[in-house]
Amino acid sequence: MVEQLVWAAIKFAAVLGFMSFNAIFLVWLERKVAGFIQYRYGPMVTGKPHGWLQTIADAVKLLAKEDIIPALADRKIFILAPLVMIVPTFLLHIVIPFGPNLIVKDMEMGVLYFFAVSGFTTLAVVMAGWASNNKYSLLGAIRAIAQLIGYELPLIISVAAVVLLAGSMSTQEIVQSQASWPYVILQPIGFLVFFIAALAELNRVPFDLLEAESELVAGYNTEYSGMRWAFFFLAEYGNLAVMSAMIVTLFLGGWQGPILPPLVWFLLKIYLVAFVIIWFRWTFPRVRPDQLSKLGWKYLLPASLVNLALTSLYVVFI
């Protein structure tokens, strides 16, 4: 029992470290990539070379910021929302296979667990938006519902096709079943649908309507500041890394790869996917709300259903 607890604590610490690293590294990466794409330098001063200390300095700044809860806000929900956001992010890391034996817990129904837990994000966003009692926040939350709802289905259904091929919901077994071919080759439609839907679930450009800074200030977390805001931030980048990891696990062969050790392969792939997602941000314009729901319900959902049907035919007859 004690041993189990200690192990769990070590695993939690590792996940926490991974998340913190992601928040710091991915933000730095995002700024740098933005800089290069936009023909400028990005952070250069704090920490040389290339301002690598900048995001750590930002984290320290956030820690020292005043805790402001707006007078009109719904206090309890306002305080709870970051909690609802951050806990599922921890939980999502449990089923990510970093290597053949490097996983917090290989569950028999890992994939289903992953998407069940990731559904909490919507709740947190709605809580934050509603409790803030701010017009921008609520607009952000309202858009968030439509968006997260509309894109969760294609996401899940395209995963079902992968599960069909692998014959298992365990993330480890899915990775192992990709020893010869990664599923991106067998499941091109599924991969495309999943990738687009994942972008929407992550609220990344071109689907960042719920925090469109040019119209909604910051969307659902307008009223959040200091550490409370930092939790949203941490969760957001944690989710970005976790979703990239899921894309890698489901479609890109996970930790499989020649020569290099599995962990290195896995991290390389994750950050490659994360890089592509960041690249999108500085390339694509934001979609309109009507286009958003149209794309999700009228294109991605039917596409994922067709993909599922084709895959099931393939599994049964070939």
Site for another protein in 94-113 (CB under 8 A): 94, 104-105, 107-109, 111-112
Query: Which CB, 108 or 213, lies closer to another protein?
Result: 108
Q: Is residue 139 within 8 Å of 158, Cβ to Cβ?
A: no
Both structure tokens of 18: 């991974």
Q: Which residues contact 236 (CB under 8 A, 6 or more apart)?
A: 202, 203
Classify each residue of 188-197 as buried b or exposed e, where b means 16 or more C-beta atoms within 10 Å of its C-beta: ebbbbbbbbb
Residues 37-96 that bind another protein (CB under 8 A): 63-73, 82-83, 86-87, 90-91, 93-94
Q: Is residue 209 within 8 Å of 265, Cβ to Cβ?
A: no
Instruction: Give the closest residue to 186 by CA, choosing from 200, 171, 165.
Output: 165
DSSP state, 285?
P
Residues 128-167 that bind another protein (CB under 8 A): 130, 132-138, 142, 145-146, 149-150, 152-153, 156-157, 160-161, 163-164, 167
Residues 275-294 that bind another protein (CB under 8 A): 289-290, 292-294
Q: Which residues contact 40 (CB under 8 A, 6 or more apart)?
A: none
Tell me how far apart the alpha carbons of residues 274 and 143 are, in angstroms, rounded to a whole number. 24
Give the interface segment with another protein, choosing from 3-11, 37-45, 183-191, 244-252 (CB under 8 A).
3-11
Residues 11-40 that bind another protein (CB under 8 A): 11-12, 15-16
Query: Which CB, 44 or 87, lies closer to another protein?
Result: 87
When asked if residue 124 is in the footprint of another protein (CB under 8 A), the reply is no
Give the interface segment with another protein, choosing from 7-15, 28-36, 42-50, 254-262 (CB under 8 A).
7-15
Minimum CB distance to another protein, residue 206 (Å): 16
Query: Which CB, 272 or 309, lies closer to another protein?
Result: 309
Tell me how far apart the alpha carbons of residues 87 and 76 are, in angstroms, rounded to a whole number. 17
Minimum CB distance to another protein, residue 174 (Å): 11
Neighbours of 71 (CB within 10 A): 7
Minimum CB distance to another protein, residue 61 (Å): 10
Minimum CB distance to another protein, residue 288 (Å): 8
Minimum CB distance to another protein, residue 178 (Å): 16
CA-CA distances (angstroms) from residue 178 to 76, 252, 257? 46, 8, 10
Q: Which residues contact 144 (CB under 8 A, 6 or more apart)?
A: 122, 125, 126, 129, 203, 210, 219, 220
The site that binds another protein (CB under 8 A) totals a number of residues, namely 80
Give the interface segment with another protein, choosing from 35-43, 244-252, 262-270, 301-309 (CB under 8 A).
301-309
Minimum CB distance to another protein, residue 40 (Å): 28
Minimum CB distance to another protein, residue 53 (Å): 18
Residues 212-251 that bind another protein (CB under 8 A): 217, 222-223, 226-228, 231
Residue type, 87: V
What value, to the nearest 5°, has the Cα angle with vertex 33 and ends 29 and 37? Answer: 175
Minimum CB distance to another protein, residue 278 (Å): 26
